[in-house]
Amino acid sequence: MSMSARGEFSEIPVLDVSGLYGCDEEAVRAVASTLRGYLENIGFLYIVGHQIPQSDIEAVREASKQFFALPEDEKLKLRIDKNFRGYLPFAGSTIVTSSVATVSKPNQSESIFFMHEVEADDPRALAEKPLQGPNQWPDAALLPEFRETIERYVDQMSTLARKMVAAISISLGLSPDELNAHFEDPTTFLRLLHYPTQKAEEGLFGSAPHTDYGFITLLAQDDVGGLEVKNKAGDWVPAPPIPNSFVMNVGDILARWSNDVFVSTPHRVINRSGRERYSQPFFFDPSMEAQIEALPACVVDDAKPKYEPVLYGDYLMERIDKNYHYRKKKAAQESAAG
Ligand SMILES: O=C(O)CCC(=O)C(=O)O
Ligand SMILES: [Fe+2]
């Protein structure tokens, strides 16, 4: 593929990560080294050779289709809550912190978020720590296998994500476990997305141009297409469906942590297909308590790091409060009170 410098790309590269699963250290280093180049220059790649069965990915897609096919009042019983778990109806989010575009029309999608599970009687939930509470599940009488399917997938995706975290560590010359230490209680989001067919209209997006907040995103998409990634020239490069792959991308906190060695690249979705589209991004992020401070491996000599250290939890709450309508009133009250 043609890739010469940062941001100059005309397609999204494919990386076979099967080498990460063996014990050949040379093979592990080779994967990590190629990965580093992609994360530095593009911020996006496909990964293949992961160990997640296609049938488990498809089971989640089926579960997602069944959920979105429920009557609206049934879905609204799970309306997204203060812990960011649940259903975000069609046109529920407009990205206002986007530095990439002036965005005014709501996204043409509906979605449901499942985060890491926190039981109602968990001390974190009882103390009302931000984003710590139970997930909201559809009625098991309506969708009997839904919860099991989702929970199995979240386990599998977390294992894959940890592999990728280790590979990123290695790519930076760190020990494989160095970054994983910040993911002791990882903040995870599985988002199931449904994009109805949309009309071609200026400024109308399934998902408006944005960067992801977190560390890495691992996305499974159906065969419809519509995801696009922005290159340095400002062209939108398609990331079409590739069987058995995940699209992996760098989120803002990884870019910040790496002192901008890695790049968090704007992307968007326009569903021009005339078909409905389903996708399932999995966001794997640090513990809320993790201190995110420029990795020494990413700072040249005695240069001053570009960003102040930040607690992941503080950073995340600020981003979430800015972007979602349903939280805005609450956030305004909180800042008025504080
Ligand atoms: O649906 C997709 O392909 C992308 C979704 C996305 O970018 C997001 O949810 O952050
Ligand atoms: Fe995204």
Backbone phi and psi for residue 20, each to the nearest 5 degrees, phi listed first: -70, -15
Cα of 229 from ligand 1 centre, angstroms:
11
Cα of 108 from ligand 2 centre, angstroms:
14
**Residue written as token pair 């897609």:** 61
Tell whether ligand 1 has an atom less than 6 A from the beta carbon of residue 212.
Answer: yes
Q: Which atom of ligand 1 is nearest to the CA of 283?
A: 10
How many CA within 13 A on the CB side of residue 52?
26
Asked whether the beta carbons of 281 and 219 are under 8 A apart, the reply is: yes
Ligand positioned closest to the Cα atom of 108: 1
Tell whether ligand 1 has an atom less than 6 A from the beta carbon of residue 219.
Answer: yes
Which residue type occupies 193? L
Spell out the per-residue pLDDT of the chain, length 338, in tens: 545 689 999 999 999 999 999 999 999 999 999 999 999 999 999 999 999 999 999 999 999 999 999 999 999 999 999 999 999 999 755 555 555 655 578 999 999 999 999 999 999 999 999 999 999 999 999 999 999 999 999 999 999 999 999 999 999 999 999 999 999 999 999 999 999 998 888 899 999 999 999 999 999 999 999 999 999 999 999 999 999 999 999 999 999 999 999 999 999 999 999 999 999 999 999 999 999 999 999 999 889 999 999 999 999 999 998 887 666 555 444 443 33
Tell whether ligand 1 has an atom less than 6 A from the beta carbon of residue 216.
Answer: no
Residue 101, burial from CB neighbour count under 10 angstroms (0-12, 13-18, 19+): middle
Cα of 73 from ligand 2 centre, angstroms:
27
Best probe residue, ligand 1, of 103, 207, 246, 324 (max atoms within 8 Å of C-beta): 207
Asked whether the beta carbons of 286 and 183 are under 8 A apart, the reply is: yes
Ligand positioned closest to the Cα atom of 247: 1
pLDDT at 288: 97
Cα of 310 from ligand 1 centre, angstroms:
25
Ligand positioned closest to the Cα atom of 211: 2
pTM: 0.94
Cα of 193 from ligand 1 centre, angstroms:
8
Cα of 54 from ligand 2 centre, angstroms:
22
Q: How far from 111 is each of 195, 207, 259, CA to CA, in Å? A: 9, 11, 32
